[in-house]
Structure formats: C-alpha cells, structure tokens
Structure 1
Amino acid sequence: MLITKTIHDVPSKLNPNGRPIRIFVIAPNVPGYPNAKFPGVVCFSEIYQVTGPVERFAGQIASNGYVVACPSTYHEFEGPEALPYDAEGTDRGNRYKIEKEIAGYDEDARLSIDLLTSLPNCNGRIASTGMCLGGHLAFRAAFDRRVLSSVCFFATDIHSATLGKGKSDNTLIRVRNGELTGRGEVVLIFGKQDTHVPREGRDLIRKTLEDHNVTATILEVQAQHAFIRDEESKGRWDAALTRSIFNFMLEVFERTVGRDLGERVGEIGEPEHVC
C-alpha cells in the first residue's frame, strides 16, 4: 500500500516557549478511493525524536493500513529535527528526557490522538506503539480511553519510575490505581540482554499488571536494547526477529483497532455458557 507524509504543527498549552509540537503523519494512499478511512496509531520515538529508523518503522505500519502520527517529543527544548545518533545527541536526548514534565509527555499523547481523530481519513479507532522512551510513552498513552491497544518496544523507566522532571513518574502507580483494569490491551516486548530493563524490572512490571487485572502480554526475546533499529544500533539490530515481532504487533492492531466489533459484552476471558 502506498503512503504519504504530511506535517502538522499543533499548539501546545504546556510549552513555556510557545513552540508548537510538530506531528508527522504517515498515511495510506489508495488511488481511486479518496474517502477511505483507516485506524490510527500514535508512534512515539526514542530519545532522538523522529529519526530515519522511526519514520521507516511508522511507514511500514502505515503501509499496512493505518494512519500513523509521530510526535516530536522535545518541542519544549528545540525544533523537530532528529537528534544525531552520536554521543552529543545521546546526551541531549537523555537530558531532555528528565527535564520534560510528565504532564508535557501526556499532553503530547493527547494532542496526537486528537489530531488523528480529527483527520478525515482516520476512523477514530486508535492504538499506540513506540520504542525505548517511546515504549514508555506508548504505555502511558493507554491511560487515554480512546487508545484500544498499545505495543511497547523495550520501554525504559517504567520499572524504575524515573521518567520526566524529578525522575519520579507515576506510571505504575496509575496501574495500581486501576486505570488500565478492564481497559484496552497492552503488549510489552523486551530483550533479555537489554541492560536498560533488567530481569527484576521486567518481573515488577509483569507482577503489577497481573495483580491489577490488566489485559497484557509480555514478550521476552533473545535480543539487546534497540534491536529493531535498522541504523546506528551498535550491532544490536536483528532484522529477522524484528520482522517476526512486527507481524505480532500487526496481529494485535488488526484484532483491536483494525476491526470494529461493536461494544464489548462481559469480561475478557469470561467463559461461555454451554448447554
């Protein structure tokens, strides 16, 4: 399926600099069907903003029939240009990550969802995904009731609650408060060799989700951090594994937002009554 890219500069109420957030939208293009509508996906980037690998990842999702919105995360600090995959870019991205307010991250998600639902080619059924920092942001996007599923790649800082200004986020607290209970589906994908999220952290996330009845899947694969990044991955990119996991993500999206099943009746996993 062909795709197109457009740029949307959306006002941010929480940005003290008055700078809008730039959201890149990559969407299917079906010649001859100008009124076609598709589900939406918010794709959150890693600490380098919307880089080539992130745009290609989003483009692959869009080419499978989704309108994808990629927000530029660090609009409070600089323009929408991608940070370089070098030591200086890494230092800037990591510094911004803990200088940005948690409320600012949540506003970015809300504005991205608002944009998708306003587009004439989006049917209003929304999912989220992201990698690294973006994996955590995709997880937090699930707190928005409009998001029906979230697939989070090697999400950082969830287990340690160290995202945002003050390095004290409330992500797992909100899970414990029941904000994901009985809601959409969450998938977290981690590499077992990922030093950013150790086994103890993965176990904490799993236990928290299970203890609070969140519809969740946690996949632990033989991979390192950033294994889906096809550029500057420091030898960690696994193309075959990425293809397999990407197809798993598409299955989740197809099942949760790709089809409109109407209003759900009963709880997930509730046994059927057989006569």
Structure 2
Amino acid sequence: MIITSDETADIPVPGASSSMRLHLFRPAMPGRYPGILLFSEIYQVTDPIRRLAAMVAGQGYVVAVPEVYHEYEPAGTVLRYDAPGTERGNALKFAKPVAGFDADARAAVGFLRDHPACTGRIGSLGICLGGHLAYRAALDPAVSAVACFYATDIHSKSLGEGRNDDSLARMDELKAEALFVWGRQDPHVPFAGRQAIRERLEEVGARYEWHEVNGAHAFLRDEGPRYDPALFLQAIGWTLALFQRTLGGHEPAGPAAG
C-alpha cells in the first residue's frame, strides 16, 4: 500500500513546557484506518524508526511517532547511534518524570483518535525505551493492543526521574491484548527480569503473547551489527497479526457529494 510519510504535527501536551512533534505515516488511499502509536528507542525518530513506521503504515495503519524528549531537545532532534547519542538518550530517559511520558502518550492517543484518517481504534508499539512507553500507553483503556519489543526498565522499576516507576504495580490496569518479545542475549533485560514481568502478567490475568528469541538487544533495528532480518520478519508478523485481530481494518471513504 502506498503511503504518505512526510507529515508532522506539533501538538500541545498538558503540563509540558513545549509542544510535542509527531511524525505521521499513513496510507495514501482515502478512507479511515486504525491508529498505531509507535514509540522509538532513546534516539528519537531515526532512519530505522522511520522505516519501521512506514512499513507498518503500509499494512493499513495511521502511525504516529512522538519525539518524547521534546522538553529537552529542539523539534526534529535525532540522536546518533554512537557513544554521545547513547549517553544523551539515557540521560534524558532518567531525567524526564514518568508523569511527563504518560502525558505525552495521552496527548498522542487523543490526537490519533481524532485524526480524520483514523477509525478511532488505537494500538501501541515500541522498541527498547519505547517498549516500556508503549506498555504504559496501553494502560489507557483507549488502547486496545500493544506490542513491546525488549522493553527496558519495567523489571527494574527504574524509568524516569528518580528511577522509581510504577509500571509493574499498575499491570492490573492493562486491559489491552499484549505482545512481548525479548532477545535472550539481551543484557538489558536478563532472565530474572523477564521472569518477573511474566509472573506479574500471570498474577493479574493479562491477555498476552510471549516470545523469547535468540537475539541481541536491538535485533529489530535494521542497521548495525545486531540486526537480524529473519527475526525481524518473524516478529513483525506476530505484531501485525495482533493488530489485525484487535483493531479492525480500513473503512472506505464515503461517496463524494454531488
């Protein structure tokens, strides 16, 4: 499906000192489509994230990718996949209050639901830091499905300012159907951490799918030495199956007035 991928929207976030830029990717064909809120790694909207968003949009979704460090960096800032970029991204991950991340998610969900190209059915998707943020976004009952890839800091309760988030404690609020995918060779989320998350999912009776693959952290990123194309295709298949099952599909445009 041909897409439109050069749109942005700067939206207000209650309590924030600046607007938040969303990067939008959507089918060019008229009509309405389910919305996907895609949260990036700590580097913001890099080329691999843009390609992932475009690929998902091409399956029939309106995809919005927020710049989650909007209070700290000018709009359009992309951090590089190098030591300074990693240091800055991690510093901001622990500087920003969790309430700020949550406010961003609510604002982005509201924008997507009201977008004229969206059906109002919303899912969330995220990678690394974004996997954690996608999970927290799905605590909103407006979000029907969530796909989390090697989500960091959930097991350690260490997201945000003060490094003391409540993500595990709030898991009983998760009503969305969830997909969790982990790399077994990922040092950021060791076996004990994965086990703690899964035990909590079982404790609260969550509806979830769980996959542990032989992959490193960032195996989904389509550049760099850890990229695994075969695992990418397999994992995206799980993701699209989840969204197709839970979010519905394209609603054709009505007849033109005449």
- Residue number in structure 1 paired with 2:15: 14
Separation (CA, whole Å) in 2 of partners of 1:197 and 1:252: 23
The structural deviation recorded for 1:242 is: 0.3
The residue type paired with residue 2 of structure 2 is L
Secondary structure of 2:95's counterpart equals coil
TM-score computed with the length of structure 2 as normaliser: 0.94
- Residue number in structure 1 paired with 2:40: 45
The residue type paired with residue 245 of structure 2 is R
- Residue number in structure 1 paired with 2:128: 132
1:165-192: CA deviation from partner (whole Å, max 9, x where unpaired): 00000000111xx212xx2201110000
Separation (CA, whole Å) in 2 of partners of 1:247 and 1:151: 11
The residue type paired with residue 3 of structure 2 is I
- Residue number in structure 2 paired with 1:91: 87
1:144 and 2:140 correspond: yes
Separation (CA, whole Å) in 2 of partners of 1:127 and 1:21: 19
1:233-260: CA deviation from partner (whole Å, max 9, x where unpaired): 3x11000110111011100000000259
Q: Spell out the pairing of 1:81-230 with structure 2 (5 A cutoff).
A: 81-175=77-171, 178-180=172-174, 183-230=175-222
- Residue number in structure 1 paired with 2:25: 26
Change (3 A) 1:105 1:166: same
1:200-257: CA deviation from partner (whole Å, max 9, x where unpaired): 00000000000110101111000000001012x3x11000110111011100000000
1:59 and 2:38 correspond: no
Answer 1 or 2: higher relative contact order, Cα 8 Å, separation at least 6: 2
Secondary structure of 2:148's counterpart equals strand
- Residue number in structure 2 paired with 1:255: 245
The structural deviation recorded for 1:91 is: 0.4
Secondary structure of 2:212's counterpart equals strand
The residue type paired with residue 26 of structure 1 is F
Contact 2:60-2:249 at 8 Å conserved across structures: no
CA RMSD of aligned residues (A): 1.1
Separation (CA, whole Å) in 1 of partners of 2:248 and 2:192: 34
Separation (CA, whole Å) in 2 of partners of 1:104 and 1:26: 24
Separation (CA, whole Å) in 2 of partners of 1:8 and 1:113: 13
Secondary structure of 2:173's counterpart equals coil
1:237 and 2:238 correspond: no
Gaps of 5+ in 2: 251-258
The structural deviation recorded for 1:148 is: 0.4
The structural deviation recorded for 1:19 is: 1.7
Separation (CA, whole Å) in 2 of partners of 1:187 and 1:148: 12
The structural deviation recorded for 1:13 is: 2.4
1:21-55: CA deviation from partner (whole Å, max 9, x where unpaired): 0001110111xxx3x01000000000000100011
Separation (CA, whole Å) in 2 of partners of 1:162 and 1:110: 21
1:84-120: CA deviation from partner (whole Å, max 9, x where unpaired): 1111111000000000010110011111111111111
1:56-77: CA deviation from partner (whole Å, max 9, x where unpaired): 0011000000000000010110
Separation (CA, whole Å) in 2 of partners of 1:221 and 1:142: 23
- Residue number in structure 2 paired with 1:271: none
The structural deviation recorded for 1:14 is: 2.2
TM-score computed with the length of structure 1 as normaliser: 0.88
